[in-house]
A = this chain, B = another copy of it.
């Protein structure tokens, strides 16, 4: 399957050509999903255990994260396209604008997921409920909105 093929009804354009701000990846996410074909369509609270690894410089910032907390995780969908304005996902009756979809393909491919903390280790947080490929770059962690 060609994940990067443009489908009928899809519109390309708006591809970013400016670096307005720089992200620093602060770690990576270990999941059992080896490639995109393995990934669930969306995460589930009873999904497999995933390990959010935080690189050494940022580990002190984990202080206060405890099992049972609900976390919001931002991550960089490094395999996504950034040039799709209108998309035609399978199972949708008509194409929709990228901003009306949660597709990984978007101008700034940042995903946000909410997960339950199952455990905390030195430099890592164990969670359930993620949907991304093993090795996905980590952008941010914060408590979920109440």
Contacts and interface: CB of A to CB of B under 8 A. Distances in A.
A5 interface: no
A106 interface: yes
Contact of A100 (B19, B26, B58, B63): B63
Contacts of A86: 60-61, 63
B102 A14 contact: no
B145 A114 contact: yes
Given A58-B85, A64-B100, A142-B102, A110 B20 contact: no
Highest count of chain B CB atoms <10 Å: which of A26, A78, A114: A26
B61 A110 contact: no
A145 B74 CA distance: 14
Chain A contact residues, majority secondary structure: mixed
Interface in A108-123: 108, 110, 112, 114
Interface string A98-137: 1111100011101010100000000000000000000001
B74 A21 contact: no
A140 B106 contact: yes
Given A17-B24, A62-B100, A106-B140, 19 more contacts: A13-B57, A14-B26, A16-B23, A18-B24, A20-B25, A21-B76, A21-B137, A22-B22, A24-B107, A26-B107, A26-B108, A61-B85, A62-B97, A62-B99, A63-B97, A64-B97, A65-B97, A74-B108, A99-B141
